Amino acid sequence: MAEMKPGEVGIVSGFTDEHLSVKLMEMGCLPGAAVRFNFKAPLGDPICISVSGYELSLRVEEAATISILN
């Protein structure tokens, strides 16, 4: 997900980090859910995404643990 560009959309296909995946799923970031990369913070990190009807902010290294199908 870290490689996505602002405005791109995709589907969450899985996670590479078990510890973080638990927290991401609780926030609505579930396998199969559609996500949209909204924009980056001015310094490139963190980023803002839309998923399950919410806007979430997460760090690039955290976003990198989300696998995306698009």
- The footprint of another protein (CB under 8 A) covers 9, 18-28, 30-31, 36, 38-39, 41-46, 48, 50, 52-59, 62
Nearer to another protein, 28 or 69 (CB): 28
Nearer to another protein, 3 or 61 (CB): 61
CB of 36 to another protein, least distance (A): 6
Contact predicate 23/32, CB 8 Å: no
CB of 3 to another protein, least distance (A): 19
Nearer to another protein, 3 or 54 (CB): 54
Contacts (Cβ under 8 Å, ≥6 apart) of 64: 1, 2, 16
Percent of the chain that is helix, strand, coil (3-state, to 5): 20, 40, 40
Contacts (Cβ under 8 Å, ≥6 apart) of 26: none
